Amino acid sequence: MLNYFNPGNTIKIISKLQKFIFALFIAVLILGLAEALVLSPEDYKQSDSVRIMYVHVPAAWISLGIFTVISILSFGILIFKNKNFSLITKSLAPSGFVFNIIALVTGSIWGKPTWGTWWAWDARITSMLLLAIFYLMFMMSWKIVDQENKAIKLSSYIAIFGLINVPIIKFSVDWWSTLHQPSSVNVLKETTIHTSMLVPLGIMTAAFALFSLLIFLMKYNTELLKIKNKGLDRL
């Protein structure tokens, strides 16, 4: 177990894993795009603009998921001073942030033809913008604080405060009247999206998850290499 955390070994394993995940990502992405753009039917009401949803929804899910993982690990960082966790959260943040921006932008593009506006200050959209700001603060804390220990502390506090926003985003459409529609894919309630549209949504989510994993592994490997180059052989 201790050996596993030796950066030298981990770097080798990750390098091999990266190639495999990249190949898998390309395969799943091609399948997902074919389903989403060509094979899936148009919607009865929005016709072809429904296809924006196959990018918008997975991007939003992934950005929320990544932030939740960062926040939970941040508790571990603050309580147990786990150095490895802080490398993981630092490496996770950029892809989460990019997907957050993608969700906001695609939502805006969808909103114009559907709602008739690019932007609305409703609870869902505003809380999603707040998530992007939390991501930005998290990543900036590494840049503006010179001492590493302090940067880790600051970023972790930002992450646990941001965690409060996550359920607000999820339930904003149920708690308040919003322009944004309630969720269509539900575990406890009935799912209100037809199977022929649910399949491409699922595949695109898998593709985005693989992409995040790939970017994460690249970033994480870089962090490990930095440690190795400093001449430390263990974390």
Partner 1 sequence: MYGKKVKLRAFFIILVFISALLITFLVINSLKENVVYFKSPTEIKNLTQIDKKKIRIGGMVKKDSIEVNSKNLKFIVTDFKNEIIVSYDGAVPNLFEEEKGVVAEGYLQDRKFLKADKILAKHDENYMPPEVKEAISDN
Interface with partner 1 (CB under 8 A): 41-46, 50, 53, 75, 78-80, 113-117, 120-123, 157, 160-161, 163-164, 168, 176-179, 181-184, 192-194, 196-197
Q: Which is nearer to partner 1, 4 or 80 (CB)?
A: 80
> What is the nearest approach in angstroms of partner 1 to the Cβ of residue 48?
12
Distance CA 93, CA 142 (A): 11
In this structure, what DSSP letter does residue 26 have? H
Burial label, 60 (beta-carbon count in 10 A; 0-12, 13-18, 19+): buried
State the minimum distance, in angstroms, from the CB of residue 125 to partner 1.
9
What token pair was written down for 121? 């200050």
Between 98 and 201, CB nearer to partner 1:
201
The nearer residue to partner 1, 11 or 78, going by C-beta atoms, is 78
Q: Which is nearer to partner 1, 73 or 98 (CB)?
A: 73
Angle between helices 195-229 and 53-80 (to 10 degrees): 40
Least distance from C-beta 83 to partner 1, angstroms? 15
C-beta separation of 109 from 52 below 8 A: yes
SS3 per residue for 147-161: CHHHHHHHHHHHHHH
In the complex, what is the shortest distance from the CB of residue 111 to partner 1, in angstroms, rounded to a whole number? 9
We find the least distance from the C-beta atom of residue 228 to partner 1, in angstroms, to be 28
Q: Where are the beta strands (DSSP E) in 3-78?
A: none
Name which of 20 and 175 has its Cβ closer to partner 1. 175
Measured from the CB atom, is 177 or 229 closer to partner 1?
Answer: 177
Residue 184 C-beta: closest distance to partner 1, Å: 4
| Bridge partner residues of 9 (DSSP) | none
- Min dist. Cβ of residue 21 to partner 1 (A): 30
Q: Assess contact for 166 and 158: CB atoms under 8 A.
A: no
* C-beta of 163 vs 213, nearer to partner 1: 163
Q: Which of 166, 155, 49, 161 is nearest to 100 (CA)?
A: 166
Say if CB 68 and CB 163 are below 8 A apart: yes
Contact 173, 181 (CB under 8 A): yes
